[in-house]
Chains A and B, each alone.
Chain A
Amino acid sequence: MTGYPQEEISVGSDPDQWTPHLAEVLEKPLGKVRVTELTRLTGGANRETWSFNAIDKEEKVSELILQLDRAGLDRLVGTCAREARIVNIAHGWNVPVATVIASSETPNPFGRSFTITRRIHGETIARKILRDAEWKVARSVFVNDCASSLAAIHSIPKKELEKVDLIETADSLLALTTIYDALCDPHPTFDLAIRWLEANRPEPLSSCLVHGDFRLGNLLVDEDGLRAVLDWEIAHFGDPGEDLGWMCVRAWRFGGNGNVAGLGSYQDLLDAYEKASGMHVPLETLLWWEIFGTLRWGIICLQMGGDFRSGRTTSIEIATIGRRVAENEYDLLLALKDQIS
């Protein structure tokens, strides 16, 4: 990971200066509009996210979301526009996604790749989805909805995506350990897990489009259930088990009791996924991918903390993520308890 900016160029430095650019970009899809209420939203270490309204001549208000690649992040150049292409294809395959209004590679008025989508009303904050009374119905169908959406994502033929620049990860464990080894910061717990994962590999399920970050926080729900799958930044071709296991990683349960996103049981997910996709996934395969996912999140935390240690960022948020490695080690040891001891 390279290229964090020392000084971020932000729309926020003078939002009013950017509203004419937004109006210009929106002229083709929406006609002449004026832009109001440009407001930066929280969250997202790799993106800038803004909400705003576009109002046309007849005073019709379109509620929109603008996402921009974060300035100076070389490794992410063009990801917003690439993501928009994937989202448009996924929409055609019945995956719930936000409607893309406009997107662009650079050059454009912002100097960065961006996407503008329609704003969907609902909730993405995990602790609210897991606990607030407002989302009770959504919780009751959540695992089912996720399984259906994953089945839809995994069913998209590769040839549909051939014009999108997607990485094919044939051996996820090898790819992950290569990153870990390159970081030169050994953690015996991680090596214990890698040893176990190497010795207990399940049969591959298939090779398909994998969302790569399908979890609470990137899933928008309304009162009735899952409305949109967000954040396709690290979508790639790989084993569908990766997405299924990632949902079960303890960090993404946000303190909930269920094994799947804090809400459901392993069997709930496996049954719903089999019903939607026709693919039987053995429990041992799911558990292997959960342990893989826990290791993966640990290595991502190590990598992000490394960006601070190497001086590529001064962000306190990134710095503290480095200290979350211990949580992942703890979770790995818990997940390996019945496998090793």
Chain B
Amino acid sequence: MHDELEMALPPRGNTPYDAPSALQLIEAVGLFISEELEEETTPTQRWKLRIASNALGIASREIQNIAEDRKALKVFLDDFNMDSEKELSDALRNGEFDNKLEQIYAKLVPMVERKIFVANPSYINRNNIKF
């Protein structure tokens, strides 16, 4: 007889899908690439596999952060009474914010940092660059 407690599966939360989750699948493919495939490949293939692995990392971080980052983008645009990045871009180019460039700059920094955290979190530390 198996111990019932040992047989209990990790909770999968309130989701209509079965497990593993999208994130877990991405992680599994990432490990398959980095731990199984990479050792059997040529340098060219290894380089491409590393790119594929990085792409999975981006996808994984995006899934985890998109809800919060969407909210932050809305707050950022609301601060300037803008509905979209396009509207803000147009206003910047037309000179409508020429007397507020410092303010725009200060609020763009954390927005771009959010994007970097998803796209390539090692970028900031690797280059030892800070504002």
Judged by a CB distance under 8 angstroms, whether B43 is at the interface is yes
How close is A146's CB to chain B, nearest CB, in angstroms? Answer: 21
Partner of B51, one of A250, A316, A325: A316
Q: How far is the CA of A187 from the CA of B48 in the complex (A)?
A: 28
Partner of B109, one of A191, A250, A333: A333
Q: In the complex the two chains form, is B120's CB within 8 Å of A326's CB? A: yes
Q: In the complex the two chains form, is B127's CB within 8 Å of A250's CB? A: yes
Judged by a CB distance under 8 angstroms, whether B20 is at the interface is no
Judged by a CB distance under 8 angstroms, whether A255 is at the interface is yes
From 299 to 334 in chain A, residues with beta carbon under 8 angstroms from any chain B beta carbon are 316-317, 319-320, 323-327, 329-330, 333-334
Q: How far is the CA of A253 from the CA of B126 in the complex (A)?
A: 12
Judged by a CB distance under 8 angstroms, whether A137 is at the interface is no
Judged by a CB distance under 8 angstroms, whether A192 is at the interface is yes
| CB within 8 Å for A327 and B52 given contacts A188-B108, A334-B131 | no
Q: In the complex the two chains form, is A320's CB within 8 Å of B55's CB? A: yes
Q: How far is the CA of A118 from the CA of B25 in the complex (A)?
A: 47
Which residues in A have their C-beta under 8 angstroms from that of B43?
A: 42
B10-54 CB mask vs A (1 if < 8 Å, else 0) is: 000000000000000000000000000000000110011001101
Which residues in A have their C-beta under 8 angstroms from that of B92?
A: 188, 191-192, 195
Q: How far is the CA of A324 from the CA of B119 in the complex (A)?
A: 7
Judged by a CB distance under 8 angstroms, whether B83 is at the interface is no
Which residues in B have their C-beta under 8 angstroms from that of A316?
A: 48, 51-52, 55
Which residues in B have their C-beta under 8 angstroms from that of A333?
A: 105, 108-109, 112, 131
Judged by a CB distance under 8 angstroms, whether A194 is at the interface is yes
Partner of A337, one of B115, B123, B131: B131
Q: In the complex the two chains form, is B102's CB within 8 Å of A326's CB? A: no
How close is B76's CB to chain A, nearest CB, in angstroms? Answer: 9
Which residues in A have their C-beta under 8 angstroms from that of B108?
A: 188-189, 192, 329, 333
Which residues from chain B sit less than 8 Å from chain A, CB to CB? 43-44, 47-48, 51-52, 54-55, 58, 85-86, 88-90, 92-93, 95, 98, 101-102, 104-106, 108-109, 112-113, 115-116, 118-120, 123-124, 126-127, 129, 131
Extra 20 A-B pairs, beta carbons < 8 Å, given A187-B89, A192-B101, A337-B131: A188-B92, A191-B88, A191-B90, A191-B93, A192-B104, A195-B101, A316-B48, A317-B48, A320-B58, A324-B120, A325-B119, A326-B119, A329-B115, A330-B113, A330-B123, A333-B108, A333-B109, A334-B129, A334-B131, A341-B106
* A–B pairs, 13, beta carbons within 8 Å: A188-B88, A188-B89, A191-B89, A191-B92, A191-B93, A192-B104, A195-B95, A195-B98, A316-B48, A320-B58, A329-B108, A330-B112, A341-B105
